[in-house]
Structure 1
Amino acid sequence: MNRIDLANLIFEKISSSKESLKNQFQNSNSSIGYFFIDDLLPNDIAMQIHNVFPKPEQMVLKKSIREDKYIAAQMNLYNPVLEEIIYAFQDKRIVAIIGEICIILNPLPDEYLYAGGISMMGNNQFLNPHLDNSHDKDRNLWRVLNLLYYVTPDWKEAYGGNLELWPKGLKEQQITIHSKFNRLVVMATHNSSLHSVSPVVHEGFRRCVSNYYFANEPLLETDRFHVTSFRGRPENKLSDFVLRTDTFLRMALRKVFKKGLKENPHVYKKND
């Protein structure tokens, strides 16, 4: 199926649940707004997306104290199905209806997949609590929504690799959203949308298709520019200190070098 066929199915599914999704988002919007919808695509299509994911050695490993995961954004290197599903979420109808649900005026998709694309996490891999970079790759638009579509069949919540939201900070209990097969999660991104992925504790890979939407204005009046800002998990005070120092130093560099010292490689470099 191509991106238009996939977008047709996604649009129909979201439209049929539009009011309940609005309620989900509005009920959480005072902290970190989010909604999720299950059975987004017919199961055989979701399974096909899963089946064509590349092997770990064909992806980029990002491993540090901040995170440990496999990612890919150069989509022309992989099975075309993956590029089609990613860009199905950038269909004008999908962008518009998700904007309506989240009450965001004129959200914009990102054709360059800055920090988007596909990701995979296996046993002992993780993503520490963090705030996403506030802007797009050119620092012209504000990042406002994170779309995560999970495609690993039979992935149990007990396996880890689940999205965690920390609406009241790291001193309070997180909200855990199971990275369930064929589930789409949409969450707001702003200066308070601290989130993480719990460590995987299973001999298998949790696979995800991700997109970001941007806008000309931030979600909150209090939002300010920031780099991707990591924290340690509540039980790891030393990591938290190191990561907060790391964020402080990278922010200081950005005051001098607006776009950083080097180009972020996590983009889809297309041939003109």
Structure 2
Amino acid sequence: MNRIDLANLIFEKLSLEKDKLKFQFENSDSNIGYWYVDDLLPEDIALKIAKVFPDSGQMVLKKSLRENKYIAAQMNLYDSLLEEIIFAFQDQRIVAVIGEICEIKNPIPDENLYAGGISMMGKKQFLNPHLDNSHDKDRNLWRVLNLLYYVTPDWQEEYGGNLELWPNGLEQKQITIHSKFNRLVIMETHNDSLHSVSPIVFEGYRRCVSNYYFAKSPLLASDKFHVTSFRGRPENKMADLVLRTDTFLRMCIRKVFKKGIKENPHVYKKDQ
């Protein structure tokens, strides 16, 4: 299937569920708005997407105190279905209906897949609490929405690898959203949208298709530029101290070098 076929199916599903999703979004925690929809695509199509994911050896391993996961954004290296499902979420009909549900005017999809694309996480891998980078790769637009489409069949909540939202900070209990097969999750991104992925405790891989939407204005009037800013989990105070220092130092660098010292490689370079 191509991106138009996939977008047709997604648009039909979201249009059908729109009122319910708007209600879910409006009644989610006011500090981090979110919603999710299950059975986004017909099951056979979602299974095909899962099946064509590359092996871990064909992806980039990002492993540090901040995170431990496999990522990929250079989509022409992989099965074409993966590129088609990613860009189906950038169809203007999809962008518009998601913007309407989230009450965001004129959200802008990211054809560069800056920090988007596909990801995979296996046993003992994780993503520590963090704020996403506030801007696009050229630092012209504000990041406003995070789209996560999970495609691992039979993935149980107790396996880990679930999205965690921390709307009231690390001192309060997080909201856990199961990374359930064929589920699309949408969350706001701003200066207070702290989130993480729980450590995986299962011998298997959790697979995810990711997109971000941007806008000309931030979601919150108080939003300011920031790099991707990591924290340690509540039970790991030492990691939290190290990661907060790491964020401070990277912010100091960005005050001097607006776009960083080197280009972030996590983008889709279509000419390569």
Query: 3-state SS of the aligned residue for 1:146?
Result: strand
Structure 1's unaligned 5+ residue stretches are none
1:239 maps onto 2:239 in alignment? yes
RMSD between aligned alpha carbons? Answer: 0.7
User: Cα deviations across residues 52-87 of structure 1 (Å, max 9, x unaligned)?
Assistant: 000000000000000000000000000000000000
Matched, 1:21 2:21: yes
In structure 2, C-alpha distance between the alignment counterparts of 1:25 and 1:218, rounded to whole Å = 18
Deviation at 1:271, TM superposition (A): 1.4
Equivalent position SS for 2:27: helix
| Residue type at the aligned position of 2:252 | A
- Partners in 2 of 1:71 and 1:220 — Cα distance? 29
TM (norm. structure 2) is: 0.99
Aligned-partner residue type, residue 204 of structure 2: G
Q: CA deviation at 1:152?
A: 0.1
CA distance in 2, matches of 1:79, 1:183: 21
Equivalent residues in 2 for 1:58-137 (5 A)? 58-137=58-137
Distance 2:135 2:271 in 1: 24
Contact 2:25 2:101 in 1 (8 A): yes
Tell me, in whole angstroms, the C-alpha distance in 1 between the residues paired with 2:179 and 2:16: 22
After TM superposition, give the deviation of residue 29 of structure 1 in Å.
5.4
Alignment size in residue pairs: 272
Counterpart of 1:186 in 2: which secondary structure?
strand
Q: Say whether the 8 Å CA contact 2:29–2:167 is kept in structure 1.
A: no
- 2: distance between equivalents of 1:139 and 1:35? 27
Matches of 2:244 and 2:29 in 1, distance apart? Answer: 26
2:197 is the alignment partner of 1:197: yes
Looking at structure 2, the residues matched to 26 and 255 of structure 1 have their Cα atoms a distance apart, in angstroms, of: 36
Q: Distance in 1 between matches of 2:246 and 2:168?
A: 22
Residue 192 (structure 1) shift: 0.1
Tell me the SS of whatever aligns to 1:28.
Answer: coil
Q: Tell me the equivalent position of 2:252.
A: 252
User: What is the percentage of aligned positions where both structures have the same residue?
Assistant: 78
